[in-house]
Structure 1
Amino acid sequence: MAAAGALARARWPRLVAAGRPLHVGPAAWAGHNRWSKVRNVKGPRDAARSRLFQRLGMMLRAAAKEGGPDPALNAQLANVVEQCRAKNMPKASIEAALRGAEKASSSSSRLLYEARGPGGAALLLEVLTDNPRRSQQAVRLLLARHGGAMADGARHSFERKGVVRVAPRDRRGRPVSLEGALEAALDAGAQDVWEDEDEEDEEEPALKFVCEASALGAVRERLEAAGLLPLSAALEYLPRDTVPLAAAAQEQASRLLDALSTCPDVVRVYDNIR
């Protein structure tokens, strides 16, 4: 039996593709492949999805604290609800967060931390917490472990902009070309448009239309009137200039960003890494 196993391994070598191991072999290996997929792909993906929904719930509570729990009277809250739906957050979870928003929001605070990462990269961290001291200590520790530190002045590397994220297909199901998106941006009063690099799992990347913060609502309405499908509209910090990092610093920065993404109080991290 041992010899037969060795022969099978020799005949069916392990291949590596798309960053994960693939086994090509007899049908008897299928169960092993399914388990590997669940363990190595589905498990981390579900964990990331759970963290995403937790952060969206935090954003709902923060928006409710600042402008009230009714999306019809609170544009910021309405934008967050849009983001929740675009990320396929269950309707029941959204409604539960909205029902508890008024009560929970009284004890939470929205903070913005400035930091420097490996290679001098600038970082901005949006934090929502009911214990600022605890959150600051947790963030400081993560930064120190991965070559970063809290630092004043990082905010000057960013500017606050309105960002409308639009589906890659219009209301009629037709793909939106980059040329068509640029024309729509001009008509809507947006300053720029590019593909959404944050959504790597999507077969067709969404489009991001960038505008002045004060024009966010108007740009969204004009894009929708032009037949496009807005998925979300929010204010974001975009880098004024990006900085290149050497390979070692790039790898260290990647580990830092991954670590910050697991911090329960960190809602979003902005960086100016090229």
Structure 2
Amino acid sequence: MSGHSKFANIKHKKEKNDAQRGKIFTRLGREIAVAVKSGGPDLSVNSKLRDIVAKAKSSNMPNDTIERSIKKAAGDLNGVNYESIVYEGYGPNGVAVIVEILTDNRNRAAANVRNAFTKGGGNMGTTGCVSFMFDEKGLIMVEKDDNIDEDELMMLALDSGAENFEAVEEGYEIVTLPEDFSSVREAFEKAGIPMVSAEVTMIPQTYTEINNEDDIKKMNKLLALLDEEDDVQNVYHNWENEDE
């Protein structure tokens, strides 16, 4: 996992997202609704919901907003059904792109994602065409703090089931297998360790550079168009030189 810090990108994304917090909260609300529908509103028995609530808190979603989202979902179990879909494709210069969708209209989502790829100088591919280039991992980010002892943090991470612990300039990156993510995150939470980010994500195995200015503009356009789509929950890519 060494050699490519993910911490800076997460921090830049969070800062960038401050300007569009409403959209982020809407997406988190959808994730909460899906988790409540599948496992109920009780955090003590619904580990998926606990993970999403932790993710929402790390995105600065207020507690009362989180609670309202859970109550709304619990009282509307027969409401909108969101379908989870994953699209894969290529950006300029063969950059691998994965787009995760939660939608109540599959045709609309497919058309809008395809349009984003086309306008961004890329093209949608078939299922599995790029996902093999990524590893699904739990990823927890902790900012450096004088009150946090690195050795103690590393032991807490590894003892609770983390796969890898890495100190980078900005903080600490803790990687887990997806099935161990909840136990590691909860161990950090119980220990009072503040987390900049905590979620299951897709980490590229290798990265692709774009050196052509026109292609860089197209890639930025592709990501911007996907970010504008209400149905899009997450976008993963292996672009090395993204200008955050």
Same fold (TM over 0.5): yes
CA deviation after TM superposition for structure 1 residue 219, in Å:
2.4
Which amino acid is 1:165 matched to? Answer: M
Structure of greater Rg: 1
Q: 1:208-260 deviations in whole A, cap 9, x for unaligned?
A: 31111122123234445666334654321111211122232233212211221
C-alpha distance in structure 2 between counterparts of 1:241 and 1:260, whole Å: 22
Indicate if the aligned counterparts of 2:59 and 2:197 stay in contact, CA closer than 8 A: no
Q: What is the deviation of 1:183?
A: 5.6
Distance change >3 Å, CA 46–CA 209, structure 1 → 2: closer
Is 1:163–2:129 an aligned residue pair? no
When residues 86 and 225 of structure 1 are mapped into structure 2, their CA distance, relative to the original with a 3 A threshold, is closer
1:117–1:123 contact (8 Å) kept in structure 2: yes
* Aligned residues of 1:121 and 1:271 also touching (Cα < 8 A): yes
What is the SS of the residue equivalent to 1:241? coil
Aligned partner of 2:123 among 135, 138, 149: 149
Aligned residues of 1:62 and 1:110 also touching (Cα < 8 A) = no
Q: CA deviation at 1:98?
A: 0.9
Structural mapping, 1:124-143, within 5 Å: 124-143=98-117
In 1, the alpha carbon distance for the partners of 2:175 and 2:211 equals 29
Offset of residue 123 of structure 1: 0.9
Equivalents in 2 of 1:195, 1:186: separation in Å?
A: 14
Q: Distance in 1 between matches of 2:116 and 2:93?
A: 16
* 8 Å contact from structure 1 (residues 76, 234) kept in 2: no
**1:221–1:59 distance in 2 versus 1, CA, 3 Å:** closer
Change over 3 Å in CA distance of 1:129–1:68 after alignment to 2: same
1:251–1:263 distance in 2 versus 1, CA, 3 Å: same
- In 2 relative to 1, CA 255–181 (structure 1 residues): closer, same or farther, beyond 3 Å? farther
Deviations for 1:177-231, whole angstroms, at most 9, x for unmatched residues? 5x775565444442334579xxxxxxx9564311111221232344456663346
Q: Alignment partner for residue 69 of structure 2, among 92, 97, 100?
A: 97
Structure 2 Cα separation of the partners of residues 57 and 77 of structure 1:
11
Q: 1:93 to 1:166 in 2, by over 3 A?
A: same
Structure 1, unaligned runs of 5 or more: 1-43, 197-203
Go from structure 1 to structure 2 and tell me whether the alpha carbon gap of 1:47 and 1:63 turns closer, same or farther (over 3 Å shift): same
The residue that corresponds to 1:31 in the other structure is none
Cα deviation digits, residues 54-111 of structure 1 (max 9, x gap): 1111111122233223222211111111111122212222122111214266511121
* CA distance in 2: counterparts of 1:47 and 1:224, whole angstroms: 27
Contact 2:37 2:73 in 1 (8 A): yes
Q: Aligned pair 1:53/2:2, yes or no? A: no
2:185 matched residue in structure 1: 220
Q: 1:254 aligns with which of 217, 220, 224?
A: 220
Write the distance in 2 (CA, Å) between the matches of 1:232 and 1:61.
21
- Structure 2 counterpart of 1:88: 60
User: Percent identity of the aligned residues?
Assistant: 30
Aligned counterparts of 1:46 and 1:218: Cα–Cα separation in 2:
29
Letter of the 2:44 counterpart: A
Residue 271, structure 1, aligned to residue 237, structure 2: yes
Match of 1:235 among 175, 192, 200: 200
Give the residue type in structure 1 aligned to 2:132: H
Q: Which residue of 2 aligns with 1:25?
A: none
Aligned to 2:4: none
- Equivalent pair of 2:28/2:52 in contact (CA under 8 Å): yes
Return the match for 1:76 from 36, 44, 48. Answer: 48
Separation in 2, partners of 1:49, 1:185: 30
Residue 243 of structure 1 aligns with an amino acid whose one-letter code is T
- What RMSD over aligned residues (CA atoms) do the two structures have, in Å? 2.8
